[in-house]
Structure 1
Amino acid sequence: MEIRKYESTDEKGWVRCRVLSFLDTAYYDDVHREKERFENPSIELVAIEEDQVVGLIDIEYDTEDDKVCSEEGAGGMIWHLAVHPDFQGQGIGKALMENAVEEAIKLDLEFLEAWTRDAGNSAEWFEKNAYRKVDEYYHLYLSDEDMAHNVEPDDKALHPLYMFAEYTGSDIEQFDAIERKYKCMCYIRNL
């Protein structure tokens, strides 16, 4: 396996890897047809095996003028970390992370920040890889049935069918009937 900087010719493989790796996670519907571009500088690495992208990591980092991370200091936000399902469990994610950490240290970044959900094993993975949880809130996906009981728009011509929302309050139990609700957790790794 080779870990190297992302190149524009990797885009199709990058998209496939990201989509496939997210299918069995709480982010299964976060699908993109193109690789995202970042406003700030970034560390973008891919893992290549058998002539295909089997893993990826994208970290956009703070500049003097633009802050990406929520913590004080110079940090990098991990927007994507993914390993193709056929290649998971082989240490590719850890190798990508360690290569990215080396790059971040060269750039004098002080920490890396990542947000993940409580479904699956990603939170446990971050904790095993020197990250600590510093914040949390909830993502709620309201179906048309949830919307019919909870939302009454002033304009009767508007018929909400689906809604994505963030909840930062302390009474999450009021949403127990909502099927898709995830705790979102922020992890920080000091460099």
Structure 2
Amino acid sequence: MRHRQPPAAPTAYFDDVLQSKPTIPAPGFELVAAKERGSVIGLMDVIVDGELATIDTLAVHPDHQHQGIGRALLSEALTRVTALGVPTLDAWTRDDPNTLRWYRTSGFTESEHYLHVYANHYTDAGEPDRAIGERRPGLRPMMAFLHADLREEQSMRERFARVHVCRRFVLTV
């Protein structure tokens, strides 16, 4: 039995870590913070869709956190978003206290919430069946990732081992 382990750079989204970085289509942009010798210590990807810019990825290497790198990336992103005439920058994140604190102290406000529910056979063999219900003959669900209304939080936490509150943070530019 193999379990998926969180990556070296901690993230509540360890289930969604991709093996290669997706391309951010224009007018979106990618920002990178690097040390003098070129090693990457932080990055931010922003997707722009009409009048909304969304922080798709924001990461600062653990050895370089709390040194203003995230704020510097955000400052540059705000400059670019403003130049594009986009009035709103948002981000979706989970329930990591340090991340929530960073968005709040950076001027973002929470505007929406919903649940991320993971049903995993290796956590509890019955979770995927409870999540999916009807099955097709010959198919056996092993894992499911679901969205649920925040009003269902208590019920979801009683039925599944991994439930996260997904939060939208918004900043008017």
Q: TM-score range by the shorter chain?
A: 0.7 to 0.9
Q: Are the structure 2 counterparts of residues 133 and 152 from structure 1 closer, same or farther at C-alpha, using a change threshold of 3 Å? A: closer
Residues of 1 paired with 2:170 and 2:80: CA distance?
17
Match of 1:25 in 2: 11
Match of 2:3 in 1: none
Match of 1:140 in 2: 117
Match of 1:46 in 2: 32
Aligned length: 161
Match of 2:165 in 1: 183
Match of 1:131 in 2: 108
Q: Are the structure 2 counterparts of residues 137 and 130 from structure 1 closer, same or farther at C-alpha, using a change threshold of 3 Å? A: same
State the percentage of identical aligned residues: 30
Residues of 1 paired with 2:108 and 2:44: CA distance?
16
- Which of 147, 155, 163 is equivalent to 2:144? 163
Do the aligned residues in 2 keep the contact of 1:40 with 1:62 (CA within 8 Å)? no
Query: Unpaired segments of 5 or more residues in structure 1?
Result: 1-18, 64-73
Query: Unpaired segments of 5 or more residues in structure 2?
Result: 1-6
Q: CA deviation at 1:150?
A: 4.7
Do the aligned residues in 2 keep the contact of 1:131 with 1:188 (CA within 8 Å)? yes
Q: Are the structure 2 counterparts of residues 130 and 35 from structure 1 closer, same or farther at C-alpha, using a change threshold of 3 Å? A: same
Q: Are the structure 2 counterparts of residues 82 and 150 from structure 1 closer, same or farther at C-alpha, using a change threshold of 3 Å? A: closer
Q: Deviations over 1:42-75 (max 9, x none)?
A: 1211001132111011111123xxxxxxxxxx12
Q: Deviations over 1:58-93 (max 9, x none)?
A: 111123xxxxxxxxxx12011011111121121101
Residues of 2 paired with 1:36 and 1:189: CA distance?
24
Residues of 1 paired with 2:16 and 2:135: CA distance?
30
With structure 2 as the length reference, what TM-score do the two structures score? 0.85
Residue 35, structure 1, aligned to residue 21, structure 2: yes
Match of 1:12 in 2: none
Residues of 1 paired with 2:30 and 2:17: CA distance?
19
- Equivalent residue of 1:34, what SS? coil
Matches within 5 A, 1:82-93: 82-93=59-70
Q: Deviations over 1:125-161 (max 9, x none)?
A: 1000000011010000111121244544342311111
